Amino acid sequence: MRSWGVLIVGLLLGLVGGLIFTWFVMPLRYFDTYPPMMAARYRQDWIRMATWSYGLDGNWERTQTRLLNLPPSEIAAVSTEALERAAAEGRPAEILQRIAGLALAYGASGPGVSVYAEGDGALALPATEQLPSPTVPLVELSPTETATPRPQPTPRSAAAAGTATPPALTMTDPISIVSQTLTCELEPILAISLEMSQTVSIRGRETQGLVGLPMREIWLIWDDGADRAITGLRPQKGLGYADFAVVPDRTYNLYIDSPSGRPILTLQVEPCPPAEGTGWVSRMLILREALDPLPRTTGDSPVPPLTVSETLTLSPTLRVLATPSVSATPSSTPSD
Amino acid sequence: MKRLLAFLVGIAAGIGLAMLIGWVLFPLDRQEITPASMRADYQAEYLRLVAAAYQAEGDIAVADLRLRALGASPYTAPLVVLTERWIQEGRSTDLVTPLALLALALEVDSPAMAPYLARSRE
């Protein structure tokens, strides 16, 4: 055998022996490591915990130190995931805003992050961070949405009008109920969309648009309980959207922002009209806040209850649609 | 003689190459660097985070798993040791209480933690 052949044999033997030694006899062991060196699952867990901790204490400097040298994309992804979980669990708005601020600072995007970061939590960001303008859907106002006090119902179906009586909607403050849609469901819900009319300038033209109002508390109170929802938890349904599961045989009072004063609406879950089959009436309310709201009514001064008319239409499917034709706004409330 | 020299050179080169591959380029443990290998100050920070996350998430099973990742025996030892050390050093209540609460949830709280736990109940 020639010398180079012997050299290759030696090389192979050394390589095999060396790999057995370095991989199995004395594998590499790490000491005094730090978070960026950890395996992905531990690294992501570290980020997750740091995110939760920031949500609780709001200590931005410490959080930055904890996340030093970790990949921003990983931080963005994990903090967005934490935000979604926190939102789904109905965590306090302050925590959601902080987590959204953190996610945004590390480059996360998406409707959820925009919704929460646009609140006061944006202050939690370092001063150098600039929040992008939130993307809000603009909805053109149709002429039928012009406020008209005390509208008259226009039943299209005598049967439906006779069986599905809309509840009296009372208002006490600058938030008005502009429409109500009823559907027949086996598991009824009360869905709310809180919005505000705004004048926006698009290419120099002023247009009236509707924007959803996120991060507002909606309270549903009944005799021996209460439930709270925050608008915007499901941005895909609208920034001002929130909903509640409701059950029959309860009288609910609906409040915005705080469960005090007079309710926006008092309602009960009613059975569907017999013609529509079994089930309960679910409601989708569109509430609109005036641009320059008046102070809330705190006393019991008589406020004439306003009734929103509904046009009830029977559809061939199991649905009762009640599309209101007008809104009801107290005359004392400044118009948009 | 020349062949022997070539063989030894080959062996040496092979071992060098294996060390490069086995310890630098493709170390076998690369995927499993756990919190147990972190520097002591990072481990203390890790414990703080586990306690804060437990406060936020309220999931004792997850907190349990996270503590086990430190590889100590018993696995709650680092938590107890750190909490008691910080109590002894007179660290702030905000710092100690979450750790004490986690220790309580894991049933490894000690008499030294009692005042912090009592204050958290107020």
Cβ contacts of B3 on chain A, cutoff 8 Å: 1, 3, 6
- Could you tell me if A138 and A197 are in contact, meaning their C-beta atoms sit under 8 angstroms apart? no
B65 touching A (Cβ < 8 Å)? no
Q: How many CB pairs under 8 A join A and B?
A: 149
- Could you tell me if B48 and A54 are in contact, meaning their C-beta atoms sit under 8 angstroms apart? no
CA max distance for chain A: 111
- Of A140-144, A176-180, B54-58, B77-81, the one with minimum mean pLDDT is A140-144
Inter-chain CB proximity B29 and A32 less than 8 Å: no
Cβ contacts of B50 on chain A, cutoff 8 Å: 49
Cβ contacts of A49 on chain B, cutoff 8 Å: 49-50, 52-53, 66
Which residues in chain B (81-120) have CB-CB distances under 8 A to chain A?
none
pLDDT of residue B61: 96
- For chain A, the domains span 35-124, 143-323
Inter-chain CB proximity B45 and A21 less than 8 Å: no
Exposure b/e, A273-294, CB count within 10 A at least 16 = b? beebeebbbbbbbbbbbbeeee
Nearest CA in chain B to A37: B33
pLDDT of residue A119: 55
Q: What percent of chain B has pLDDT over 70?
A: 98
What ipTM score was computed for the predicted complex, to two decimals?
A: 0.86
Find, among A198, A178, A192, the residue nearest to A138 by Cα: A198
| Alpha-carbon distances, residue A65 vs A54, A95, B39 (angstroms) | 12, 20, 15
- For chain B, the domains span 2-31, 35-121
Inter-chain CB proximity A1 and B3 less than 8 Å: yes
Give the single-character DSSP code of B68: H
Question: pLDDT tens digits for chain A (336 residues)?
Answer: 678 899 999 999 999 999 999 988 888 888 898 999 898 999 999 999 999 999 999 999 999 999 999 999 999 999 999 988 888 887 888 898 899 999 999 998 877 787 777 654 444 444 333 333 333 232 333 333 333 333 333 333 333 333 333 344 444 457 888 888 888 888 889 999 998 877 766 667 777 778 888 888 888 888 777 787 888 777 778 888 888 888 888 888 888 887 777 788 888 888 888 777 778 888 888 898 876 544 444 334 333 333 333 433 333 333 333 333 333 333 333 333
Nearest CA in chain A to B22: A22
| Alpha-carbon distances, residue A335 vs A107, A149, A232, A305, A329 (angstroms) | 40, 12, 25, 18, 8
